[in-house]
Structure 1
Amino acid sequence: MATDYDSPRKADEEMSEDSLQELQARRTDKGTSTIDVDPEEVAEGMELPGADLSNEELSVRVLPRQADEFTCSRCFLVHHRSQLAEERSGQLVCRECAA
C-alpha cells in the first residue's frame, strides 16, 4: 500500500475516533479500483521465447572495471569497494554473498 508522506498526519485522538465501519469502507473502496490495459499495447514490447533475433544489434557500452570496484569471487558481479565484506585468502566477497 502506498503512503502519501505529504498528507497531514492524524493525532492519536483522531485515529481512535475512526470507526470500524469507516475503516472497512476505505478498504473496500481501495480494492475496487481497476486498471484498464490494452492487451495489444502490452504485447508489442514482448518477445516470444525462441524468436529470431539474429538481425538485432545490441547498442550497449561496456566499461572496464574501475579502480574503486572489485569482482566478487562468489557471485562474479562487479561491486563498488564500499560493498566489500571480507577477503579470504585473496578472494574478495561482497556483502550480499557474505550474509
Structure 2
Amino acid sequence: MATDYDAPRRNETDDLAEDSLDELKARRNEAQSSVVDVDESDTAESFELPGADLSGEELTVKVLPKQADEFTCASCFLVHHRSRLAETHGNQLICRDCAA
C-alpha cells in the first residue's frame, strides 16, 4: 500500500468520527465471523473412515492380570516385560523408554 508522506497526518479519533455506524457494524461482524470456536472432541466424532461401519460390531478384549515376569513402570505406568527394565530407584521400577 502506497503512503503519501506529504498528506497531513490524521489520528485514530478523526478516523472513528468519520466512520458511519453501518461501517463500524460491518467491521465488527467481519472480525467476529473469522473466529471459530471448535471443540476438538466434537470434530473427532464427525470423521468417518471409508468402509468402517462398526455399528453392528461388538468389540471384546480379554484383560490379563500382570504376570510374574512383568513390571509396571513408575514413570509411564505401562506394564512391560522384565527384559525392558532399565533401572530401579528403591521400589520404583523404570523402563528403558523412560530411562533414556
TM-score, normalised with respect to structure 1? 0.46
Larger radius of gyration: 2
TM-score, normalised with respect to structure 2? 0.45
